Amino acid sequence: MDDISSIHQEFQRLFSDIHSSDTFPENRPLLAHYTSIATLECIMKNDEMWLSNPLLMNDFQELRFGIIEAARAFRLHDGIRAACGGGENSNYQTLLSIFEEKLAKVSSEDSFDTYLVCFSEHQRNNKNSDGLLSMWRGYGANGTGAAIVFDTEKITALEESPLILGKVKYASTNDRLQWITEKLNQFADLLKELNLSPDKFYIAIHVLLERFKLFSLFTKHDGFEEEQEWRLVYLKDRDRSGKLEGMLDYAIGQNGIEPKLKLKIGPVEGIMGGPLSLRSIVSQIILGPSISNVLTLMTVKRMLRKLEKDELAERVVMSTTPFRATT
């Protein structure tokens, strides 16, 4: 097989299970972003959300898991070696060289401008939901923050967008390692079946590492399953027209200087369509249980009106969970 497009499609089929029917845009849930009141103010004031580099997040080891384990398993995989004619065969050495070159790019250059922001799935059947206590403790300033609830039904999905909104899949370490092994077995079988010439190896390796990168970004240990996490991920290599390059930025905080994607909430041609604004996609703002009192409620509403977000001021509610943060 010599047609580049056909080869690409053949290898993509191996990873069709990464995109399941219960993720966006087939599934359009409410998504809550738990944060501090200070960050809530910044989001509303600037009409933007900041996406962070995954290597600087608390669970960075989880995010590196897929790439690290896939690379280790690839190098040791007898089936891939045999599909190229054996370890001493020049074809195998060519494949391995291409793999290492692409891996280095994924691990450095591509990783630098990969960004994400996290959400927790929020139930639609209770409009005045109190939010998840574990999320308040872990991400909502220990109950003194807010949860901004976004309605994904109001977001227009664009296939060519470099932004991917996806549901995190949870599995044990052994199950994730087994998935990697199974995919490499299938990769080896297809490599042998297609009998690719060495000058086409880069297509197979490109798909393999891109899919393992997505696997790394959208899977997590099942010990975190109660978080019901979704992630909005930006991949610069998918932003071929540079639509969001102007939003690539930095921030200086308590951990020093960090790269950021300061994503404007509004229509961007080819990226985000429709009448997109905070007013249109925010269905509710829930105050954390430790600050849920009338004084805070009225003050947050005043803040939103000062920021010309009068409609959103009417969507602020208080969590009734009986939790108070301790110092």
Closest CA to 266 of 258, 274, 257: 274
Closest CA to 234 of 53, 104, 61: 53
CA angle at residue 123 from 120 to 129, to 5 degrees? 95
Q: Domain coordinates of the chain in residue numbers?
A: 4-318
The residues near 92 (Cβ < 8 Å, ≥ 6 apart) are: 80, 81, 84, 85, 86
Residue 60: per-residue pLDDT: 66
Q: What tokens appear for 122 in the block?
A: 């929020």
Q: What tokens appear for 14 in the block?
A: 């191996």
pLDDT tens series, the chain, 327 aa: 568 889 989 998 888 877 666 789 899 999 999 999 999 999 999 999 999 998 887 766 667 888 899 999 999 999 999 999 877 779 999 999 999 999 998 888 778 899 999 999 998 876 557 999 999 999 999 999 999 999 999 998 777 789 999 999 999 999 999 999 999 999 999 999 999 999 999 999 999 999 999 999 999 999 999 999 999 999 988 898 898 999 999 999 888 999 999 999 988 776 776 678 999 999 999 999 999 999 999 999 999 999 999 999 999 999 999 998 775
Angle between helix 294-306 and helix 37-46 axes, rounded to 10 deg: 20
SS3 percent helix, strand, coil of the chain, rounded to 5, is 50, 20, 30
Q: What tokens appear for 283 in the block?
A: 């269905």
- Helical spans, DSSP H, in 195-272: 201-217
- Note every long-range contact of 82-89, with CB atoms under 8 Å and residues 24 or more positions apart, other chains counting: 82/188, 82/192, 83/188, 83/189, 83/191, 83/192, 84/191
Closest CA to 41 of 252, 307, 317, 250: 307
C-alpha dist (Å) from residue 228 to 161, 193, 219? 24, 39, 12
First to last CA, the chain: 65
Residue 19: per-residue pLDDT: 65
**What does the DSSP assignment read for 57-88?**
STTHHHHHHHHHHHHHHHHH-HHHHHHTT-TT
DSSP state of 108: I
In this prediction the pTM is: 0.91
Distance CA 22, CA 1 (A): 34
**Phi and psi, residue 113, nearest 5°:** -110, 45
Distance CA 79, CA 83 (A): 6
- Number of Cβ within 10 Å of residue 204's Cβ equals 23
